[in-house]
Structure 1
Amino acid sequence: MAAGPLSGSPLAGKPSAPGPKRQGQSPHPKQPADDWNLTKHGKVIYLTFDDGPHAGWTPKVLQILRKHHAQATFFVLGAEAAKRPDLVEQTRAAGHHIGNHTWDHPMLTKLPADKMRQEIFSGVKSKCFRPPFRDTNAAVAAVAKANHQRQVLWDVDTNDWKKPGAASIEHAILAGAYPGAIVLMHDGGGNRTQTVAALERAMTKLQRKGYTFRALPC
């Protein structure tokens, strides 16, 4: 059953208490976590990757995840998935989960209602949906729900799409990490050399601190 927007709030179903913003975390307020209590598994982080699958970068991300015995969630574009269905299946076969990131990454709230619905319904089949650019409102959420998909946002924004350098991306992951955090990165949409380098280093350091990595229940 589809529900509302989700980030990995430590207070499932309740508004987060005000406090200092975590470094690397999105400036947007957390959303209610509904019945997904992502903190119940202890020191687990939920890595997510948007805009793929990409023929070059997605396999590199998969290789790193395999090395660290980790699972993640890939929010794929329908247009890219249609070009590389084998890579989508390879990702699933490796134990990762697939989410819907629309057909081709528009600003959904700027679209007419019929076009917005088409973008969401044309994406991959999944229990989860992530709006591009975090651009959402009640109408977007309602269409996702009608498509039987839970809207999933994030807690930690690495801003890797800006290509700030691998060290900056790594720092965002490490500084924002806490049990139940949802981390946003990208395996598509451009050159992801920095993301791949940062991912390897950050995962190694987080595992030394006792963290594990799971896929969202999509």
Structure 2
Amino acid sequence: MNILQQHHIKATFFVLGRNVAQYPHLLQQIATAGHAIGNHSWSHGYQDHNFELALTEIQQTTDIVEQYTGHKTTLFRPPGGFLDNGLVAQASAQKMVTVLWTIDDTYEGSVDLAVQNVIKNATSGGIVLMHDGGGNRELMIKALPLVISELKRQGYQLVTIPHLLNLAETHVRSGDVIDCKSPEHLN
């Protein structure tokens, strides 16, 4: 969050309910800083979820986010990007928008190679996945300021998922065509 603040960037944080329960002050800092918040399930399970388990995973996380921020999130990111284990179906039943990514930070190597991985795969409307937990994230923390600077230099506008979706919705409603070669809508 400090790097994002230094670069005047707002991001979207997809949170696990169990982490919010353990660190509610961090969720409040995220919300107070003006970042968007999405639901990433309660426990990050990849297994098949029956109706009751999927409902619990989604609803408990939605409830705890609302408890600590005062806002109900309508964004859902399925753990591991799994679309068919019951979680996405439950999120859809609750009128949530499922959000995946176009660039994954699961990258090993040097900081320079990590930066180049993001830059070479950047596209208009693209979504960069960057984890803040689940292992050593030092490489991407070092790469993040360089990624931000290079994307801005190339003319990309870095925005939250809600902002990106509103931009796309506005273009569709107005009949405009989004120029996919123009780098103005990268999150």
Q: TM-score, normalised by structure 1?
A: 0.65
Higher RCO (CA < 8 A, seq sep 6+): 1
Q: Supply the distance in 2 between the matched residues of 1:138 and 1:107 (Cα, whole angstroms).
A: 7
Q: What is the distance in 2 between the residues matched to 1:105 and 1:139?
A: 13
- Residue of 138, 147, 155 corresponding to 2:102: 155
Q: Which runs of 5+ in 1 are unaligned?
A: 1-61
Q: Deviations over 1:155-189 (max 9, x none)?
A: 112314xx444233212210111221111110111
Deviation of 1:116 (Å): 2.2
**Root-mean-square deviation (CA), in Å?**
1.8
CA contact (8 A) 1:72 1:97 kept: yes
How many pairs align?
Answer: 154
Distance 2:102 2:38 in 1: 17
Distance 1:187 1:145 in 2: 26
Describe the shift of the 1:138–1:186 C-alpha distance in structure 2 as closer, same or farther (beyond 3 A).
closer
Identical counterparts, % of pairs: 38
Query: Which ranges in structure 2 are unaligned for 5 or more consecutive residues?
Result: 63-71, 164-187
Map of 1:113 onto structure 2: 51
Report the Cα offset of residue 215 of structure 1: 0.7
**Where does residue 180 of structure 2 map in the other structure?**
none
Q: Does the residue aligned with 1:213 lie in a helix, a strand or coil?
A: coil
Once residues 83 and 104 of structure 1 are traced to their aligned partners in structure 2, the CA distance between those partners, rounded to angstroms, is 12
The structural deviation recorded for 1:194 is: 0.6
Larger radius of gyration: 2
Residue 169 (1) aligns with residue 108 (2)? no
Q: Describe the SS at the equivalent of 1:98.
A: strand
Instruction: Judge conservation of contact 2:49–2:86 (CA < 8 Å) in 1.
Output: no
Provide the residue aligned with 1:141 in structure 2.
88
**8 Å contact kept, 1:65–1:71:** yes
For 2:58 and 2:114, how far apart are their aligned partners in 1?
Answer: 29
User: Could you tell me which residue of structure 1 aligns to residue 36 of structure 2?
Assistant: 97
Aligned to 2:145: 200
Quote the offset at 1:150 in angstroms.
Answer: 0.8
Residues 41, 57 of structure 2: 8 Å contact kept: yes
Residue in 1 that maps onto 2:166: none
Relative distance call for 1:123 and 1:164 in structure 2 (3 A) is farther
- SS of corresponding position for 1:191: coil
